[in-house]
Structure 1
Amino acid sequence: MLTSLQNPLVKQIRKLHASKQRREQGVFLIEGTHLLEEACAVDYPLITVCFTPEWQLQHQQLWQQTIQRAERAEIVSPEVLKAIATTVQPDGVVATARRNYRQREVLFTGLGLALETVQDPGNLGTIIRTAAAAGASGLWLSEDSVDLDNPKVLRASAGQWFRLPMAVSAELKVAVRECQQAGMQVVATLPTAELTYWEVDWRRPSLILLGNEGAGLSAELAAMADLQVRIPLCLGVESLNVAIAAALMLYEAQRQKSCVRS
């Protein structure tokens, strides 16, 4: 059992709390039973898994699945587990995995999202969770956004992080152009647009553009859109949360497609 906070493995995992270290090591954290279950459900490869004896006793089946997938498994004391976790009350298990989402294929079909300079990890995680629930085919994220593997992003996604195809783009305009060339209509959200979001024919393959929480979409990216739409707001309300805006359009698209099937 690992009990010392000075253990080299413990020190290495603790460094992953910082974005810079996750990038340099090419590794990220998977914290908690639910996220680990979701990772195992899709056979996501694990590097190290650390768990307390109590967790091992309570989750025998998941423990067996985990040690078969992980390169290394370690029993740790509750004190060590708390030190390597980013949550205040960790539930007994923390794992690490390789940061390979840049190679995850994003399909240029159906319904997709392109997010520019989204900064709040809770917003990004909620968008990922909603996109997966609404049947989106994938998500592009600009490189200047919050880290896709930020621990808060994973938690806010409720495990859907492992199921939705995603990629980070150093040049989001190129990714958007590729989607257009593949036949997708690109839809930007702007408060001054004439069309409301429910007037769009979402039965067509579509890419939704969403921008920064404060500044919105850049002028360059908004100009690339085939359609610009607005979400009507009552007088005095300036804007909606970006995750709520994403949910409204994703589920309007699902509603329109459901009407066609029925």
Structure 2
Amino acid sequence: MITSLQNPLVKQMRKLHRPKERLQQHLSLLEGTHLLEEACAVNIPLTTVCCTSDWLEEHTQLWERATQQAGRAEIVSPEVLQAIATTVQPDGVVASVARLMPRSPTFPVTLGVALETIQDPGNVGTLIRTAAAVGVDGLWISADSVDLDHPKVLRATAGQWFRLPMAVSADLKQDVTSFKQLGGQVIATLPFAQTPYWEIDWQQPSLILLGNEGAGLTTELAALADVNVTIPLMAGVESLNVAIAAAVILYEARRQREVGV
């Protein structure tokens, strides 16, 4: 059992809290039982997996499967697990993997989402989880957004990170243009728009543009939209959280596709 915070493995895994270190070490952190289950379900090779003895007693089968996929497996003290986890109250297991690369979307896409400069990892993770639940088949995120392998992004996806086709876009405008050239409609979510989101025909191939939590979409990206939509709000309510806004719109798209307009 590893009990020292000075252990080289502990030091190395703690460094993965920082984006620069994840990039340099080419590793990502998976925290918690559910993420580990999902990673094992899709046969993600694990570099290292660490758990407490209490966690092991309750998850023997998952531990056996994880150790078969891991290069190294260690039992650690609760204090060590607390140190290598980014959560305040980790549930007993943390793993590292070769830096995760999402499954890229492929055209044509029937329902897609493009995210521009989204900074909050919880928002991005929730968006990914919602998009997977609705049946989105392509998500693009600008390179100046939060890292897709940020530990909080991964946790907030509830394991759907591994299932949704996604790409970090070096040129989001070009990706949106490519979608348009294939005949899809591009819908920008803008607070000053006059058209409610439910008046759009979502049964045709559609790409939703969602912008930064504070600034919204840039003028350049919004200009590529075929139509602008808004989510009507009661007086005095300034805006919705971007992940909530995405959920509202995406489920209208799914409703129309299942039952018609």
User: TM range, normalised to the smaller chain?
Assistant: over 0.9
Aligned equivalent of 1:106: 105
Aligned equivalent of 2:8: 8
Aligned equivalent of 2:222: 222
Give the secondary-structure state (helix, strand or coil) at the position aligned to 2:209: strand
Residues of 1 paired with 2:60 and 2:178: CA distance?
Answer: 46
In the alignment, residue 104 of structure 2 is paired with which amino acid? E
Aligned equivalent of 1:256: 256
1:246 shift after superposition: 0.2
Aligned equivalent of 2:54: 54
Q: How does 1:7-156 map to 2 (within 5 A)?
A: 7-101=7-101, 104-108=103-107, 109-156=109-156
Residues of 2 paired with 1:183 and 1:69: CA distance?
Answer: 43
1:45 shift after superposition: 2.1
- With the length of structure 2 as denominator, give the TM-score of the two structures: 0.95
Q: How many residues align?
A: 260
Residues of 1 paired with 2:71 and 2:110: CA distance?
Answer: 37
Residue deviations 1:156-187 (CA, integer Å, cap 9, x gap)? 11121121111111211111112222332111
Give the secondary-structure state (helix, strand or coil) at the position aligned to 1:253: helix
Residues of 2 paired with 1:247 and 1:158: CA distance?
Answer: 16
Residue deviations 1:74-128 (CA, integer Å, cap 9, x gap)? 12122211110111111111001122426x2113312111000111111111111
1:259 shift after superposition: 0.6
1:194 shift after superposition: 2.4
- With the length of structure 1 as denominator, give the TM-score of the two structures: 0.95
1:218 shift after superposition: 0.2
Q: Is the 8 A contact 2:81 2:92 kept in 1?
A: yes
Larger deviation: 40-49 or 27-36?
40-49
1:190 shift after superposition: 1.0
Residue deviations 1:16-74 (CA, integer Å, cap 9, x gap)? 01111111112111001011111111222211111122222210111111111112111
Give the secondary-structure state (helix, strand or coil) at the position aligned to 1:14: helix
Q: Is the 8 A contact 2:118 2:124 kept in 1?
A: yes
Residues of 2 paired with 1:110 and 1:41: CA distance?
Answer: 27
In the alignment, residue 173 of structure 1 is paired with which amino acid? K
Q: Is the 8 A contact 2:115 2:209 kept in 1?
A: yes
In the alignment, residue 114 of structure 2 is paired with which amino acid? A
Residues of 2 paired with 1:52 and 1:116: CA distance?
Answer: 39
Task: Return 5+ residue gaps in structure 2 as ranges.
Answer: none
1:236 shift after superposition: 2.1
Give the 4+ runs in structure 1 shifted more than 6 A: none
RMSD: 1.5
Percent of matched pairs sharing the same residue: 68
In the alignment, residue 60 of structure 2 is paired with which amino acid? Q
In the alignment, residue 99 of structure 1 is paired with which amino acid? R
Aligned equivalent of 2:187: 187
Give the secondary-structure state (helix, strand or coil) at the position aligned to 1:101: coil
Q: Is the 8 A contact 2:100 2:149 kept in 1?
A: no
Larger deviation: 124-133 or 216-225?
124-133
Aligned equivalent of 2:205: 205
